[in-house]
A and B are shown apart, each in its own frame.
Chain A
Amino acid sequence: MTDPLDAYSRYAPALLRKCERILASREDAEDIVQTLFGDLLRDGGPLPDFPYLFRAATNRALNRLRDRRRRAALLERHGHAVLGGVVPPVDGRVVHLDLLARLVDQLDPETAEILVLRYLDHLDQQEIADLIGRSRRTVHTRLADIRDRLAALAGEAAP
């Protein structure tokens, strides 16, 4: 596929679902996906494949959560939304938007991406490793760190 507009029509619905799983906001998802394709058009290079776009959308959604002003607006509207969509959570762990935001504050960008790929997109460790170009061992270690932080934050939240 070489036409960016064709690529937008083909891939945007999946990317919108992807961003909505992270942010619980269709409006923000649309803004992110539009901006992503706008940037691709301006760059004028070869069109990336869907897995690349999937990662790009993930990181842009996470960047939105890091943006203090936008995050405040998101949390005000959707802070208690349960993320992830239609299937049970990984490890029985329900992730709300406000919990994800607090985790993102604690994690480096790559680990935050791994968090989303595992807990919201249900990729297994090998699939994550293949997608981000890291070893499975690295992914395993990062996930252990994520689980520890999740447990700590859940403990913080407990009465």
Chain B
Amino acid sequence: MADLRINFAGIRSPNPFWLASAPPTNSGLQVHRAFEAGWGGAVWKTIGAPVLNVSNRYGAWHFGSQKMLAINNVELISDRPFDVNLREIAEVKRAWPDRAVVVSAMVESKPEAWHDVIRRIQDTGADGIELNYGCPHGMSERGMGSAVGQVPEYCEQITGWVMEVAKIPVIVKLTPNISDIVMPARAAVAARANAISLINTLNSIIGVDLNTLEITPNIGGRGGHGGYAGPAVKPIALNMLAALGRDSVVHGSKLPISGMGGISTWQDAAEFLLLGASSLQVCTAVMHYGFRIIEDLCDGLSNWMDEKGFANVPDVVGRSLERVSDFKDFDLAFKAVARIDQQKCIRCDLCYVACGDTAHQCIDLIDKNGNVVPPGAYDVRSNGKADAVGARPRVVVREEDCVGCRLCFNVCPVEDCIAMVELPSGRPSVTWDELTQSQPDVTEDWNKMMAYREKMGIHIH
């Protein structure tokens, strides 16, 4: 069995799964229950400045019959009394010495305020501190949260204040509501933080109620942007995680990264590890299904690691990072085409309409006699399941015209029915970057480009 233990910037936990700083870690009772269920750690819901909350805090984005593809919230940091939080943190840590107890903090941007909160957190015996530079709603209007995370200079300055008094590892949590995630991360590095975590929630409006015309969720006739999280944000989080892994300053600093943003399954977790996260935080999936999901997160990850021959978590971390590349470094000679397995195909024709209407028109309907036929080519008097099923044409890719866009592969509802088959293009490998250097005129002049295509046998219809 794979060893799931981690040591994250000196914070140890029996598995890489921590509850993110959020409603699930609002109280000692909840964190106790989570640790009983098997969670490796918990980042306490942010404590710090005094707040008052509103009701109707959470909106959700549902799609089809899938509930909570994402959640958005306007809940602020902990509204429980500061001292109660500190007492419960200390109790939890005493009761669970082997688990990671990290405390998230956010106070006004004054050195004394930060010094005070850091010292008081350290007095609880907590294992680490996470600086919340991420919340995009409410606190940001008061100059905290993402108002800090969006300005690298503030980020560096405040982290510097924290590091003046910190005796336990400090994690800087980044907001994704920024055009380049690398900048605040570099600020954290410059301020000598011990680790980085990302992503916090994204600005969002969940929707409008079509009966009342109110914003969802409705807060006394008003509504507004809130923090967006859940499965729908995972690709955004993975991209930002990889961006840090590819930055020479951030990567060179060797600061560990705690990854989060839509992790719901062990597969998601493995992807975050492969792109460089060495601890994982989870919130929305727990808010949907409860603490019990930790069992399959650990079990599935462990089984996958065993299958792949990974002995421990550090073996996995960052394994796929080197494959993340800019467009200019992709091999322009790589060729893949779609091929449809006729045995598996259920003839829904979703690939046909997607390719025909919105891609490259290279899938045909072929009837029993091998002829290309238009859709709906049946007599109006024909009916019944035998006619409908028996006369249904096959969908076949014209491989010579397929550009390998992969849209059909994505829309196909049947597993392993459409394969993207790698074919030799007959052209030497070349990247756009190489082309720009070796034949710059081809990359700048359409006539030269056409001549180059002709020479290379590249025909685009």
Are A and B physically bound partners? no
Q: Which residues of B contact A (CB under 8 A)?
A: none
Q: Which residues of A contact B (CB under 8 A)?
A: none
